[in-house]
């Protein structure tokens, strides 16, 4: 954590957020500081502990949910993570993989089912070896929750099977379809679970288009950010219809020429495509009424716009995985409370992109149009909060509220706080 504190040295609110999340009781005891080996745990203890292993960020975000929804959404995530682990395992040939993917919705009802040696990390392997514990908890859920999870698992498994043998994504339409299968369907499932809980209106489950949009915005952001990591693992998720316009040979050319205007033009075109999903995301978030469900939905969306601002026109995307500061992530988790706080963050990061649009970029006009469309929609929403982002829709500086003398020295951090 020391290195992350140094990265946030000019942002003391981020340092406070990191310390608050680490020491403020935000991580339940079932997810940390347990003496029992994970494989010896049972029931909910196992599920929440393995969730923290396979996705620490999701394990934090899930704590924003009402108690009624925490178990269903924890199990929903682990079921889909199991499905995704099968899909990602390159050791499995299609003869073995295809029936697993298409029948996974039935597998999650089989007592005692597990699979050894599957997964590309020790934690994923452990999840699959102990998957019968996830199944046991799935079968304890209320029937409406089980039905929603099973339906989405069935649809996602079919979609993954359809794409499993493809070496990449060709058209933008195919990119949208792929993102629908792996993320948009998650949005459908979450809306169904929200509605089934009674915490949200039944009509929310019918909002399939904007539920899908929420997932597409997140997935496209991850795909753009993970360019080099995916390339090194032999996976291509950037759509050929875009990258082939800017590369004479192959997608890998951008890694060899990270500062080339053509490399950045490709990157910026994809970011611009993702920005087109913001109106639907804003509409969805305005429909979520329960405050805790809202935070659960909004935090990843704010993380995504922060990440898009970080990767936009950034040659470092072609050199490694570009991530926002951990301190900023912690601050987003703590401060995203309502639509006003979402507005503050979105406006800040959209204005950050706007001021950095290169005039010579081929997508510049469309990027500007999409940024300004989103800003207009945000301007029509609730007034900004007073949590430190300032009047972000007018481009006010993010940390102005911190005032003079806000810089905390590293010596002070290590002497007094660490």
Q: Determine which one of 44, 53, 235, 286 is catalytic.
A: 235
Q: Determine which one of 77, 131, 194, 225 is catalytic.
A: 225
Contact 330, 4 (CB under 8 A): no
Q: In 336-382, which ranges are continuous DSSP H helix?
A: 339-355, 364-379
Is 225 among the catalytic positions? Answer: yes
Q: Determine which one of 181, 296, 345, 398 is catalytic.
A: 296
* C-alpha–C-alpha distance, residues 268 and 367, integer Å: 8
Q: In 89-184, which ranges are continuous DSSP H helix?
A: 94-102, 104-107, 122-129, 131-138, 143-164, 172-179
In three-state secondary structure terms, 356 is: coil
Q: In 226-338, which ranges are continuous DSSP H helix?
A: 227-232, 240-246, 253-256, 261-275, 278-287, 291-311, 326-335
Is 235 among the catalytic positions? Answer: yes
Q: Determine which one of 46, 178, 227, 318 is catalytic.
A: 178
* CB environment 318-346: b (16+ within 10 A), e (fewer): beeebebbbbbbbbbbbbbbebebbbbbb
Cα distances from 81 to residues 10, 134, 150, 153, 184, in angstroms, run 37, 11, 14, 10, 15
Contact 320, 276 (CB under 8 A): no
| Burial of 67 per CB tally in 10 Å (0-12, 13-18, 19+) | exposed
Active site residues: 178, 225, 235, 296
């Amino acid at each position: 954590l020391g290195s992350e504190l140094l990265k946030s040295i000019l942002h003391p609110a981020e340092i406070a957020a990191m310390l608050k999340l680490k020491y403020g009781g935000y991580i339940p005891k079932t997810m940390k500081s347990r003496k029992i080996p994970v494989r010896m745990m049972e029931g909910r203890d196992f599920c929440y502990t393995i969730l923290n292993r396979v996705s620490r960020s999701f394990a934090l975000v899930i704590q924003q949910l009402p108690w009624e929804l925490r178990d269903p959404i924890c199990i929903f995530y682990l079921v889909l993570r199991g499905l995704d682990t099968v899909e990602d395992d390159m050791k499995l040939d299609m003869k073995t993989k295809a029936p697993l993917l298409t029948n996974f919705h039935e597998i999650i009802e089989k007592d005692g089912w597990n699979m050894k040696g599957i997964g590309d990390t020790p934690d994923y392997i452990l999840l699959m070896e102990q998957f019968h514990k996830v199944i046991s908890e799935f079968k304890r859920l209320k029937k409406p929750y089980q039905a929603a999870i099973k339906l989405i698992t069935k649809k996602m498994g079919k979609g993954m099977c359809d794409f499993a043998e493809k070496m990449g994504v060709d058209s933008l339409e195919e990119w949208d379809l792929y993102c629908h299968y792996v993320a948009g369907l998650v949005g459908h499932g979450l809306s169904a679970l929200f509605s089934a809980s009674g915490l949200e209106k039944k009509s929310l489950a019918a909002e399939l288009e904007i539920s899908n949009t929420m997932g597409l915005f997140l997935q496209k952001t991850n795909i753009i950010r993970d360019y080099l990591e995916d390339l090194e693992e032999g996976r291509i998720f950037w759509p050929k219809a875009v990258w082939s316009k800017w590369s004479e040979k192959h997608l890998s050319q951008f890694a060899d020429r990270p500062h080339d205007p053509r490399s950045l033009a490709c990157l910026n075109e994809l970011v611009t495509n993702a920005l087109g999903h913001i109106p639907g995301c804003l509409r969805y978030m305005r429909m979520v009424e329960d405050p805790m469900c809202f935070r659960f939905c909004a935090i990843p969306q704010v993380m995504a716009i922060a990440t898009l601002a970080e990767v936009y026109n950034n040659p470092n995307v072609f050199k490694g995985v570009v991530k926002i500061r951990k301190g900023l992530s912690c601050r987003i988790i703590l401060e995203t409370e309502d639509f006003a706080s979402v507005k503050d963050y979105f406006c800040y990061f959209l204005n950050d992109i706007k001021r950095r649009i290169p005039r010579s970029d081929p997508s510049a006009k469309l990027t500007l149009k999409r940024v300004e469309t989103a800003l207009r929609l945000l301007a029509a929403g609730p007034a900004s909060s007073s949590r430190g982002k300032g009047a972000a829709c007018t481009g006010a500086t993010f940390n102005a509220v911190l005032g003079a003398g806000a810089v905390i020295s590293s010596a002070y951090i290590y002497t007094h706080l660490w």
